[in-house]
Every structure is written in structure tokens, then in C-alpha cells.
Chain A
Amino acid sequence: MAHSVDDFIAHVVTRNPAEKEFHQAVREVVESIWPVIERDPRYRQGKILERIVEPERVVMFRVPWVDDQGEIQVNRGFRVEMNSALGPYKGGLRLHPSVTLGILKFLAFEQVFKNSLTTLPLGGGKGGSDFDPKAKSDGEIMRFCQAFMAELFRHIGPNTDVPAGDIGVGGRELGFLFGMYKKLANEFTGVLTGKGRDWGGSRIRPEATGYGLVYFAAEMLAARGDNLEGKRVLISGAGNVAQYAAEKVLEYGGKVLTISDSNGTIVDPQGIDRRKLDWIMDLKNNRRGRIAEYAQKFPEAEFLEDQRPWTVACDVALPCATENEISGADARALLDNGCTCVAEGANMPSDPDAVNAFLEAEILYGPGKAANAGGVAVSGLEMTQNAMRLTWTRQEVDERLRLIMREIHRTCVRHGRQDGFVNYLDGANIAGFIKVADAMLDQGVV
């Protein structure tokens, strides 16, 4: 057993050479949960770390297919079944030329803890191929997907491994994959998630992350005896997450002051109400215009060209745009302007300086891995609906999503409480790990 994080990482590097993304992911997790390992001898005794970094199974296979010119093409397919302590392996399939075993192991490893945090019975995995769907015809995509599934089908199943979409795998690809699975397995089961709504897919998938984000923020506020009613909320981004987060904030009585895109931010001191939000949704979803047009449509608003929203006075900030969009300086500006709650809709939108600033200021800081888990949660709900052979209504799925986010919050609080302050970042990391680790201990050395 290693005696330090570095020792352990050195051990991992030796066993998994040339997989630097995987090494990096392991380091981040291990550094975060090392205190837990140190204070609980069961984990050392059970060699949980050593086991948890080793995939339960890796399938690597040849995917031969015929292109439109009649030429045979050969790609490499993978499925990394990382951990099934909590449930069937669950994680996306990625089709991209950059896909390697190392990258998939890194993604599968992170997926284990992400899924664990949802509180749903989901293991972790990831798969895919170095196939590039770009510049391929529908026929080529179909033939590839069928060839890919011709091997994968024997390794997956509704109670074994339930892949989903990821980069390069959208509704079209999932359709082709599912069709081939169904033919080979001779059964219509929930073996994939992200399916078409008419053939087993779940409701509110596009809304899930945004809604879930606000549910999480509301839970954080509630933990302090507060709520979103009347809160001034800054939202960055104008995509799915931002739009549906804004929608939910309005439902909760909050006042959305900003929305942004790559050209800048609009600030509406009167708040973006339902009518204005509908206009934004039409602008971004249908007309695909630039957010600057908002200021022309609603003169009370101001357009801050090439600026992010973080200098505007607020109570709550929901970064939903992109990675590293909040710098240390932005974080300090937020804090100076009265922000008491930051919940991350995007993946890692706050850079390390910003995260430290939030933690030092002991405001409510909901890291992305917890706050934006709504998307994964709905995937889990799709499995449940498939298993029950039911299709829940929009309201039913939404309500279950809310409960899941509440549960995630509770779990974070349970594991992140430090002297009256809740460190949600630690809470999320530790909670995700402990749940898996405990299950592994319970299930013995397998």
C-alpha cells in the first residue's frame, strides 16, 4: 500500500504507461479523498484505491466496415467497464479520432464518481472508437454503428452495462446502435440511454442540467434558511443549460439579470421575465441571433460587449457558459458585489483561483460535478423507466430530478461539513468515493 499520493500515482503510472490523461484524473481524485483513506483503515485494508483504479473489464475490438466507395475501413472499438459496485456500468460512447484506451479509462474513472453522486444505482464505464463521424454519410455512420455493436452487444445489457451518447454519438447514432443491438440480442430492452422519445427515451433531457442546477442552488440556499425568491441572479451562457436554468429561477421567484454569449453580456436591471426569456429562446434556438440584439429589443437592457456578467451586483451566480469563465478577479468582483451563492452549470467554469476565493469566503459554492449532475440523473431515470416499461410524464421526471438533486445536496452536506461551513467540493468528491468504496467492501474481493 502506498504511503502518499505520489507513491500511489507512481504505482499507477508504472502499471498504465502512456495514459497521461488517466494519471491526471487519478491524481485529482486521490488527492481529494486521501484524508478519507488515511482516517478509515477499512479502505486501506480492502485495497480500495488499488482496486478502484483498475477497470473491472476492458474490451477492445476490431470494427471493420465498408465505406460508400466500397473500401474496407478498420477502426478500433473500446468499452471500459470500470466499476459496477453500485449498479450496471453506465457511461457514454464517444466517436472521435482522438479516442484511445487512456482517454476512455480517464473518462470512465471520472464517470464512476459522477454516477455515484447521483445517488442512483449506477456503475461507471465509458466506450467508443477512433472513428470520425465527420464527413461520413448516413449510410457510413449506420454501417459503422452496426459493426461496432456487432461486437459490443455481447458485453452490454440492461442489467450489465448501459452505454449512452457522448461526443459524436447523438440521436442518429444511438438509433443505429440500438437497432443493431435489438436485432442481435433479440430483445427490446433499455440497453442504451439517450434514445428517441418514441422508443424509450425520457422526457426533459435538454432541460435536466439547467433545472437540476437551480434545484441544487435552491437546496444550498435552503440549507441556510434562504431561498431564491427575489434573488438577483447572474447567468452566463445562452445555451440549453443557461436557458433552462433561467426558466427555473423565474419559477422560483428569482430575478435573472444577465445572459451572455461569445460576443458579450446583456444586463437587464428590470430582470429577464418570462416574456423576455421566451424572446431569448426564440433568438438563440430559432433565429440563432446574437444576444446583443436583446438590448435593441429591450432598451432598458445594456449590452456589455466582450464582457462576462461577473461585475454586476448579484446574490447568485450560475456560470453556464464554458470552462474557466470565472477567474480569480471575477470571483473577487462577485464577492465584492454581494454574491453569496455560486452554482456551476458548466464543467469547471471557475478556475482554481476562483474556487479558492469562494471557499475562503465561505459562500455557497456548488461545484459542477454535483450541481450539474442533472443530465446524468435523467439518464438514470431513463433506465428506470425502461426497466419498469413505463414512460413518465414531464412533471414526473422533473419531480424525480428535483428529489435526486436534493439527495445529492444532502450527500455533499453530509461529507463536506467543516465547522459549520459546507465545503461542497470536498463533499462531492468524498461522497462519490465513499459510496463506491463502501459498496466494494460490502461485496467482497471480486
Chain B
Amino acid sequence: MPVRHQILQDRRFHNLMPYRVREVLLVSSPYDAFILEEDGQLTEQVFFEYRDVSLSGPPRVTHVATGEEALLQMQKQRFDLILVMASLSDMGVNALGRKVKELRPGRPVVLLALDRKELDRSQELIDTEAIDAVFLWTGDSQILLAVIKYIEDRDNVDHDIEHGNVRVILMVEDSPRFYSAFLGLLYKELMNQSHSLYSEGVNELHRRMYMRSRPKVLHAKSYEQAVALFERYQRNVTAVVTDVRIPRGGVLDPGGGLAFAAFARQYDPELPVLLQSAEPANAEQAAAMDVAFVDKNSKSLLAEIREFLRQSLGFGEFVFRTPDGEEVARAADVRELERQLAVVPDESITYHAMHNHFSLWLMARSEFELAGRIRPRQVSDFPSVAATREYLIQLLRQTRQRAQRGVIADFSREQFARDLFSRFGQGSLGGKARGIAFMHLTLAGRRGRELGELDLTIPKTVVLTTECFDRFMEENQLADFAAECEEDAELAKRFRECRFDDDLRSELTFIAHEMTGPLAVRSSSLLEDSLHLPLAGIYNTLMIPNLSKDPEVRLRELATAVKIVYASTYFHNARTYLQSTGCRVEEEKMAVIVQRLVGRRHGARYYPNFAGVAQSHNFYPIGPQRAEDGIVHVALGLGRQVIDGGLALRFSPRHPGVIPQLATPRDMLDGTQRGFYALDLDHPCCADDGDFYGNVKHFDLEQAEADGTLLAVGSVFRRDEERLRENLGLTGPRVVSFNNILKHRAIPLAEALAELLALAERGLGCPVEMEFACDMGDWGRPPAPGRERARPVLYPLQVRPFAARGAHQELGQLSYRPEETLCVSERSLGHGIERAVQDIVYVRRQTWEANANKAIVAQIGEFNRSLGGQRRPYLLIGPGRWGTADPWLGIPVQWGHISNVRVIVEASPAGYGVEPSQGTHFFQNITSLRVGYLTVPPGADKTDGHSEFLDWAWLDGQPAARETRHLRHVRLETPLTVVLDGREGRGLILKPGARG
């Protein structure tokens, strides 16, 4: 799990412990170092210490022998902690401490004394300005953990209280010998208890994140310091551990600890206090004060402290008791507590409520907010015990529900209904699933899961990790076959015939049963992880109805879909793509996302109100749009309308009311979708004939109107007024204008998408592309009788990097001589200079006609294969929208047909003014593989004197290497120079030998 996902696990904990000790500089004589390291390398010791208590990121220890070396080293490298041994050859520890503070003000310096004699000597001479703390080496490396955590806690406590309301244990002890030993013990115990506590957590990550919220330990050496610390952190002090004999008023007070305990109890009579003393006689006084007591010399010291922590800090199970101490029930986790609360006797609830046991226990689970809400409520605030009981149950339920949010849970049958996102298996989630997980976590990190009238969430998702793929491949011994077979149909057939192992079969049956209703089965490939390799649209995504009453049928549908996605790892399109990226298909592994399909059933059709793709960078900003505002393509029905490059509405999320490319109502009439895609529930899915998408069908808009889905996004074109009206009661052509949403703001779609894009871009650190779908709920109609009104919900379906365009190169002013220039475009994509292209393949304008577009695809594929075989990148020139699914709008190539292309020019004849390419999957690959893309206006021939042009005559004048009716291949003696300025969106292609 990459860190960027991990840290989003829970914002509260993400923000905790901002100061971490990662680099330790140990300054000691070689001899001292030898003593320290006699049991092995110090770094290793720290590492094992961290590992033992399940802490991540152990610090690295660098050793130097002298003070001078230390100061030199500090100038070269950042250190978070300077650990100094007493005997340095070149300077005293105080001198070193002062120089460190001069060099790096505020950097902690801790003195580690090797024995008590040294400790006593150094304590007398210590300069507290130069040395932050003194510890005694106890012969146990856990002291290193204690020193580090002590420093971290000291520096983080204010921040963590402010951001996470964490708890504080106040330790009062003046003897370095004792506090050195005791702190080590205390920290280790805290870590272990925190860790064991969260075995109930939903996953390993969750547990680790909670470790950060363990109580902080603050240390006071005197009564006055203790009082000051207590007063400052009084609201968060959860326990006090104090020596009985502590300095007070400058002298050692034999009852100072007792006085402090009494002082603290004034503020909170229930505050757990542990008195420790080497004098057993103090036990009586402790008992008189109703505080715990341990004998410092006790052989069971550790066990006693452990029990104190467990009881006072709420670790362990919640034991329900009656006031007389009788145990009536136990709860191991919040869910169990909630269940038991409903049944335990009234007097038990009253007893625990009066003693703040609930809040204490919840605090231990880092439910600070919840605990903070319970703590101030008195039993007397409620009219009855029943009311108290109900209040607690409700609050716990909220806690539990919150715990589900933003968590990637490990798949479990028991928790499946609860978990919105879960993973099955230990392997990788794959790139696409990580994207979904990221959005899930991002949404959980928002203040709420709604934006005005719109709820935001991901669809219920379970990911079969790459481990399942490995198991499947291994179980069926498919690796060799898959690597060698080049026929998609054969691959699919063989994969379908293979079996999942019994475990996986059983879980798939369970998933199909639990997730009743249509499912999307999506690929999530390992290589998609790479920022530069988004494999959008390369692998298969299938949809299955999952509605049969027969569990066997459901299993078959789901299993077949998963197998086909597995097989698609080796399909021609994927192989070709991987080859062009320098990856090998053998390196690829496939996780599979099983996701509830967003939408509703309308007869035999199932589809969302609308779906689309949002990109955080707009390559074609028009009018008020800016590139960085992003762009959204949206269409009624399934997102296939958009993904395949069909007619969809394109808008900037920052200017949703302006659709520049469709400026007039008549433009809207002509330029918007006329039909939509939906899942046909009656059509068999994953057909044997290789048409895996046969159940996704295209329907006329009138069907959407009959289904009621046009209402939210449709308008009527009024011929007599030349305008659109959002009233489907009127007669006239229906237009999918999205006016109700984009102009009249029925739901804040644009705002939500803008926010999600911004969050995703910030999270991924690069431009992003996000697929989404929206269910309008009961918008515009009354809810079904007896049902609560369903709110509109926007579902991010996946998010992926929109590959960076290498915008590092400074190009300066683009200048050129027209006679030496093949092409000039004011709308180009890509950035940089390309000098490797000597081959040009272009669609001959003399013979081209739109109805030949389909036929041209195969020919281009053949040219592409041939040039790819010779490792010759080429320039491709042709009309209309490249990569569209609609052959009337352009040449409907898929990536595999043009995989060796380096630069594309979109140049249409006059009158073929198709909107620029926007088939997003196709485009995704174009941009991520840094294919240059230039668009020239329709009919912009150089001879016409346009500022943007393509010199067709020059092209036609070059000898053809190969020629067909529609295509011409020109091979040049020397390369073209392609110059693309991504910041300005300008591009030039210079002819060979040009001096521009």
C-alpha cells in the first residue's frame, strides 16, 4: 500500500505525530560505542525494538566518535536527535550540546550515561540549556526506544492534543535510574497494549494507524513541574504515575508524590493514579487515598504496571460489572459493547457510566471525539437508565459506521455487509483498484460525504488481488499457454474452461450472493501502478446482471467475467501496448474489481442517470475555460458513450454554465447524444462468441424519457423560439443538455467534480482522470410509498494519473519559415522536440470519404504493424476524430492499430468540422505515451495562407513508399523535426533540413 493511500486512512491519525525521529546521531567514544554495541549493531537493535512493538519506520543511527565529527556530520545531514555519551575525547557534553543548539537551534540533545557513577557525576554538572534530558543505559536496548519516544512525545504533545485530543500519562520521577528503566517499560507496554487492542481492527493498516494515537507520556522531575504539566494538560491527563518521594520546593519531599496525587484528584476524583515507592510502607497511604501502588523492588513490577495500565487506560475487554463487582458480561470490541449495552442490567450501566468507564474504554480505542461526548454527560442528565442506554447505543452505532468509512478492509464474510471496500487475498490491488481505494479514503477524509444536495461515495467494491490471479494461473497451469497464445478468442476460450480453486469459488459464490444486482467486473493491473503507464481501456471491463435466483448461474456469470478479465491480460491489444512501453507481458498481473454497477433497473435495462469522465487538465480550453480548470465529458446512461468517444457533453467544472462548443440551441440539437448505453439484463453476458460487451446496448433517447431518466438532463428544443426549455411536457426534439444540472444547479455536480479532481490531483501529485457515475435518486419525483427519499449520489468509479507531459524542456519562441514547414497548429498536445520520425502515413484527401473510415482502420493497422516491425516511429495524418467509436465522426482506430505512432495530426477537409478528438481511453494512451497531437482547422491548406496549416501539396509531392486507395506512406531521407510547446498548446512540424 503506497504511503499516500495509507496516510489518508484516517485524517485524525494522519495528522498526529508530525515530529518523528528518523535520524539519530550517536556521539560516543569508540569504547562507549563498543559497550552499546556488544550485542549487535545499534541500528539493528533499534530496528528490532521497533519491530517488536509493531512500530513502523525505525530511525537510522549514525555513529561518530568525537564532538567535532558530530558537528561536521550535522552540517552534511539532518539529524532529529543527538545522543551523546559522557566521555568524549575532544569536548565536554555541555560544550557539544551548546554547539549543537547554535548550529541547529531546538534540536534535542540527550545524554546517555553508561553507569550510575557517570550519571551522578554528569547530573551535577549538566547544563539544562544544552542538554535536554539525561538517561541511564540500562543494558537493554529498549531505552533507545524510550529516549526516542520521550523526545517525540515532548515535541508532539501540544500538536496531537490539538489535532487528535490524545491522552497523556504524567510520570513524576526524579531519579534518572528509575525513569530510564520505567519509561522503557512504560513505552513498551503502551505499544504492546495498543497493538493487541486493535486486533479487532479491520486491517493491518488500520491497526498501525491507531498506534500513532497511543497516549503520550510526559515526564516531570519535581512536584512543581508535575503541577505545571498537569494544569496545562489537565483535560487530557488520563493517568498519573508518581514516585512517592519527589523534590518539592527545592528539597526532596518524602510525601511529595502523595501531595501531587491529592492535587490531581481534586480535578478528577476518578483519575487513575499509580504511586510507586521503594518503601512498602507507603502502600497504606496509597490505599487510604484509593490509588494504586507498586513497590519498585517488587519482582512482579512489570505485571503490576501492566495491570494498572490495562485498567486505568481502558485497554483489554470491557468487563460489565454490577456495583458489587459481579461480572455480568464482557465486550471485546465496539460492536460487542453495543450489543451488550442492550442487554446488561440497568445497575451495571449506571455503575460504569458514573465511573466514566465507557469514555475511558473508548479513549483507549482512540475514539476521542466519541469519548469526549460521553465524558461530560452525567447519569443525572438522563431521565432514565433506559435513556442512558439508548444514548450510548446510538453513539456507538455512529462510531461503528464511521469505522467503515475510508477503510480498505480485509475481506471477511462476517463484515462484508459493512465494508464498502474490501480486498480478497494478500496480493496487490492493482492500479485501478488503488485509484478507487484512494477515492474512498479521500471521501472519508472530507468533513462529510455530501455536498449540498449530492452525496459522494464509491460503489460497494471488492477486489480480488493479484494473489487470486496467481492462484488461478498456477492452479490451471496457464502461464506458458498464455505467454505463447496470440489469439484472443483462443485465450478467452481456454481461460473460461479453467476452474477456480474451491476456496475462491466459494468466496465468489458468496460475493455474487451478497452483492445482488448488476456488477461491473473491472481489470486492475499491476503495471497500472506506474504513474506513466495508465492502461485505460486496454484490458476488459465486463458487466453482469447477477440477478438470477440460481446461485450457480450467478457464480458462473461472475467467474466467467473474472476469467475473461484475466485472459485479457494476454490479449493482442494489451500485448501491443505493453511492448510499446518496454514492459513484458510476463511481468503483468491482474487484480479484479467487482463493483456494484451504479444505476437503476428500468424494465430490462439497467443504467445510471449519467456517467462520464473528468480530467483535471483540459487540452482544449475554449472561451473562459482554462487548461488547469479541467474538463468533464458526461452522457446520459452508462459511461461507454463517453469512453468510446461518442457524442457527450463537454464542460469545464469551473464554468458549467458555458458550453462554448455548443453555443446555440441548434448546436445543442446537433451536437448532443441521441441515444444512450444501458446494460441489457435479458442479454446473456460474456457470450462465447467473443463479444463480451454484447449485453451493453444502445437505446434511443425516447427510451430514456419513458424510463424517467431524461427528466434530470433533458431539454426540449423549441423551434418557434429557437431555444431550449427544460420542460419535457412540451413537444419538440429532446436534447441531452444537462441544463437542469449545469445551469440550474439541481445538484452541485460541477462543484463536486471540481473538488474531487482537486483532491485527487493533490493526492496523486499529477493531473488525474476520473470516471464517475451518478444516480439521481428520487430527484424530481416523489419517493416510493413508505420509503425514505433517496438523495442523488455521485460515485467516483476510478481515478488514475493523467500522465504528465514532460513539460521540462524550455523551447523558447517557436519560429519557422513557412516554406520549410509541414504543419503549424495552435492546438497541439505534448511538449518537447522530436527528431526521430522519417515515416509519414496519411489518409489521402483526394479519395477520402467519411463512409470509408471503417475500412481505413484495418489498413492503418497493417501499416502500423509493418513500421513497428522495422522499429520506425511514424507521423500519422488524417481527418476527423481519431479513436472515436462513431465511424462517421472519424477513423475509429483502437490503440493497437496505431501503437507505433509518434505524432498524430488531425487535419480534416473543409466542411468536416468535427469537434476535436475526445475518445478518452484512446486519448489517455496518446498523452501518456507522449504521442504528439496536432490539430489544424478543417480545410487549412498551406496554399490558402492560413496561419495554421498542413502543406498537403508537399506531402503529395513526396514519392510514395507504399500506397493504397486511402492511405499513402512516405519515407523521408532525413527526419522531420516536431516541436511541441505544451504550455502554449502550439506545435510545428518542420520538413527535413529546415533551419527553423
Which A residues fall within an 8 A CB radius of B?
67-69, 133-140, 165, 168, 170-172, 174, 194, 196-197, 201, 203-206, 240, 285-290, 305-306
Contact = CB atoms under 8 A, between A and B. Distances in A.
Nearest to B665: A170
A135 B664 contact: no
Range, interface on chain B:
20 to 34
A201 B720 contact: yes
Contact of B658 (A137, A197, A205, A288): A137
Closest 3 CB pairs of A and B: A135-B623, A171-B721, A171-B723
A135 B700 contact: no
B723 A68 contact: no
Given A68-B655, A285-B733, A287-B674, A134 B719 contact: no
A170 B722 contact: yes
Interface in B872-905: 888
Contacts of A68: 624, 655
Interface in B935-981: none
A69 B624 contact: yes
B664 A137 contact: no
Contacts of B718: 171
B723 A138 contact: no
A69 B732 CA distance: 35
B663 A288 contact: no
A133 B666 CA distance: 14
A168 B720 CA distance: 15
Contact of B734 (A135, A140, A165, A286): A286
A78 B670 CA distance: 31
Given A135-B622, A135-B624, A138-B657, A288 B674 contact: yes
A285 B665 contact: no
B721 A197 contact: yes
6 contacts: A134-B663, A135-B624, A174-B721, A197-B720, A197-B721, A287-B701
B702 to A, nearest CB: 7
Given A134-B663, A171-B665, A171-B723, 11 more contacts: A67-B624, A135-B622, A135-B623, A136-B623, A136-B658, A165-B722, A170-B665, A285-B717, A287-B701, A288-B669, A290-B888
A225 to B, nearest CB: 36
Given A288-B670, A288-B733, A171 B722 contact: yes
A306 B911 CA distance: 13
Contacts of B701: 286-287
B657 A137 contact: yes
Nearest to B669: A288
A137 B655 contact: yes
B743 interface: yes
Nearest to B732: A285
A157 B958 CA distance: 65
Interface in B238-297: none
A289 B721 contact: no
Contacts of A289: 674
B660 interface: yes
B660 A135 contact: yes
Contacts of B702: 286
Nearest to A137: B657
Contacts of B723: 170-172
Contacts of A306: 849
Contacts of A135: 622-624, 658, 660, 663
Contacts of A168: 664
Contacts of B721: 170-171, 174, 194, 196-197, 201
Contacts of B732: 285
Contacts of A287: 674, 700-701
Interface string B668-679: 011000100000
Nearest to B675: A287
A165 B719 CA distance: 13
- Most chain A C-beta atoms within 10 Å of own C-beta, residue among B663, B664, B721, B743: B721
A75 to B, nearest CB: 16
B720 A205 contact: yes
Interface in B168-220: none
A245 to B, nearest CB: 15
B720 to A, nearest CB: 4
Interface string B726-757: 00000011100000000100000000000000
Contacts of A171: 665, 718, 721-723
A281 to B, nearest CB: 10
A174 B665 CA distance: 14
Contacts of A140: 658
Contacts of B663: 133-135
B719 A240 contact: yes
Contacts of A165: 722
A149 to B, nearest CB: 18
Interface in B804-860: 849, 851
Contacts of A196: 721
A121 B917 CA distance: 51
Contacts of B674: 287-289
A216 to B, nearest CB: 21
Interface in B693-726: 700-702, 717-723
Nearest to B647: A288
Contacts of B722: 165, 170-171, 194
A285 B735 CA distance: 10
A137 B851 CA distance: 37
A203 B717 CA distance: 16
B726 to A, nearest CB: 12
Nearest to B672: A288
Contact of A206 (B623, B719, B851): B719
A350 to B, nearest CB: 21
A133 B662 CA distance: 11
Contacts of A194: 721-722
Interface string B369-397: 00000000000000000000000000000
Contacts of B658: 135-137, 140
Contacts of B719: 205-206, 240, 285
Contacts of B660: 134-135
Given A134-B663, A288-B733, A139 B657 contact: yes
A194 B722 CA distance: 9
B656 to A, nearest CB: 9
Contacts of B700: 287
A168 B666 CA distance: 11
B655 A170 contact: no
Interface in B633-665: 655, 657-658, 660, 663-665
A134 B660 CA distance: 6
Nearest to B720: A205
A205 B721 CA distance: 8
Nearest to B666: A170
Contacts of A205: 719-720
A138 B721 CA distance: 16
A213 B243 CA distance: 108
- Most chain B C-beta atoms within 10 Å of own C-beta, residue among A136, A165, A240: A136
Nearest to A136: B658
A138 B623 contact: no
Contacts of B734: 286
Nearest to B622: A135
- Most chain B C-beta atoms within 10 Å of own C-beta, residue among A133, A134, A240: A134
- Most chain B C-beta atoms within 10 Å of own C-beta, residue among A203, A240, A288: A288
A306 B743 CA distance: 39
A343 B615 CA distance: 51
- Most chain B C-beta atoms within 10 Å of own C-beta, residue among A69, A135, A165, A203: A135
Interface in B43-72: none
A137 B670 CA distance: 20
A138 B743 contact: yes
Nearest to A196: B721
A168 B849 CA distance: 32
Contacts of B664: 133, 168, 170
Nearest to A244: B719
B379 to A, nearest CB: 58
B624 A134 contact: no
